[in-house]
């Protein structure tokens, strides 16, 4: 039986952020999970189902404009709003875990970009970082005209939303995963002009400041990912100053390595890393 619980916390502007978590007094550590663009916190059961038997708590929020959190789909005004949601979740996790227990931040895709920037901004609040298929580099360059138009629209119409152009067939080679994604009522394909430009700014910020990162870090990426470029993970890995850092590229794997054919190898690696760092 699942011991998962849910709740909501309120942001300064009144936005409600939904979160799910599972924790007990016997847990030896915790993991905060940041999901990707258009999805939600409930799509990480392949990981959370392994964390609980290992006596590791998890805490996962739906980012603003995603899942069960408030806000229009795919819309934010500032990247800091995403970081704020993570900070509140980290603070909640710390309070639930109690003193002396390690807390690791995990982020996938857009969530990986958020997690990387969070770790650079608030390194003292976490004990380790895991980045999965992080959106540190787009799979294809943004054409100059599109980039300029995006910046203009972000300035004058920040709430304008459009399709995110995500090729769902690039999520996983497991067709059942793709079909479940398409059928999930909490998944959406919207991205606002402001979110688009804020994510680009977040990529620049992460790479510019990467050298400051000294936390133990695991970075992994699907070698055949067509949604976020594996080179972004490699470049970030090379730039960070962490003495304890690991990079894994899974040849032939698509974007969602935790939901891929052969996901067991990835999950084993993730769990081994977590257990070695708590």
What pLDDT does 1 receive?
A: 39
203 contacts 116 by C-beta, under 8 angstroms: no
> Within its chain, how far is the Cα of 97 from the centroid?
21
Predicted pLDDT of residue 269:
99
Q: How far apart are CA 74 and CA 93, in angstroms?
A: 25
Range of the domain at 256: 5-276
**What is each CA distance from 263 to 143, 177, 255, in whole angstroms?**
34, 12, 11
* Rounded-to-integer distance, Cα 84 and Cα 89, Å: 9
What CATH number does the domain containing 24 carry?
A: 3.40.50.1820
Count the domains in the chain.
1
Question: Under DSSP, is residue 132 helix (H, G, I), strand (E, B) or coil?
Answer: strand
∠ CA 229-235-237 to the nearest 5 degrees?
A: 110
Distance CA 126, CA 113 (A): 16
The per-residue pLDDT for 134 is: 98
Measured in degrees and rounded to the nearest 5, phi and psi for residue 72 equal -70, 145
Enzyme catalytic residues: 109, 225, 255
Q: Which residues contact 44 (CB under 8 A, 6 or more apart)?
A: 33, 35, 58, 60, 108, 258
Beta-carbon neighbour count of residue 208 at 10 Å? 11
H-state helical runs in the chain: 45-51, 79-97, 110-121, 144-156, 175-183, 193-209, 230-239, 263-276
Cβ-proximal residues to 41 (8 Å cutoff; 6+ apart), any chain: 18, 19, 20, 33, 35, 60, 61, 62, 67
Q: What is the distance between the alpha carbons of residues 72 and 41, in angstroms, rounded to a whole number?
A: 17
pTM > 0.85: yes or no: yes
Please enumerate, as own/partner, the contacts of 137-140 that have beta carbons within 8 Å and a separation of 24 or more: 137/203, 137/228, 137/229, 137/231, 137/232, 137/233, 137/235, 138/203, 138/228, 138/229, 138/232, 139/225, 139/226, 139/227, 139/228, 139/229
Average pLDDT, 10 consecutive residues per value, the chain (278 residues) = 88 95 97 98 98 98 96 84 96 95 98 98 98 92 53 51 78 98 96 86 97 99 98 99 99 98 98 98
């Amino acid at each position: 039986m699942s011991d998962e619980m849910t709740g909501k916390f309120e942001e300064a502007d009144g936005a409600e952020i939904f979160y799910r978590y599972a924790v007990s007094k016997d847990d030896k550590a915790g993991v905060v999970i940041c999901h990707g663009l258009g999805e939600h916190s409930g799509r990480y059961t392949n990981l959370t189902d392994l964390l609980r038997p290992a006596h590791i708590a998890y805490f996962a929020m739906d980012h603003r404009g995603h899942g069960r959190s408030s806000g229009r789909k795919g819309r934010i005004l500032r990247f800091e709003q995403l970081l704020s949601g993570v900070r509140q979740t980290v603070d909640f996790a710390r309070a639930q875990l109690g003193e002396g227990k390690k807390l690791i931040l995990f982020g996938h895709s857009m969530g990986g970009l958020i997690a990387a920037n969070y770790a650079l901004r608030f390194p003292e609040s976490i004990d380790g970082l895991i980045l999965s298929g992080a959106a540190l580099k787009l799979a294809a360059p943004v054409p100059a005209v599109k980039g300029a138009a995006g910046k203009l629209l972000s300035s004058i119409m920040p709430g304008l939303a459009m399709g995110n152009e995500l090729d769902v067939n690039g999520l996983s080679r497991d067709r059942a995963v793709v079909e479940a994604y398409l059928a999930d009522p909490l998944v959406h394909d919207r991205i606002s002009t402001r979110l688009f430009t804020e994510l680009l700014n977040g990529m620049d910020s992460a790479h510019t400041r990467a050298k400051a990162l000294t936390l133990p870090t695991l970075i992994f990426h699907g070698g055949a990912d067509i949604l976020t470029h594996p080179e972004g993970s490699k470049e970030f890995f090379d730039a960070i100053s962490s003495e304890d850092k690991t990079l894994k590229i899974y040849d032939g794997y698509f974007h969602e390595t935790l939901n891929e054919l052969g996901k067991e190898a990835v999950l084993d690696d993730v769990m081994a890393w977590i257990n070695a760092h708590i």
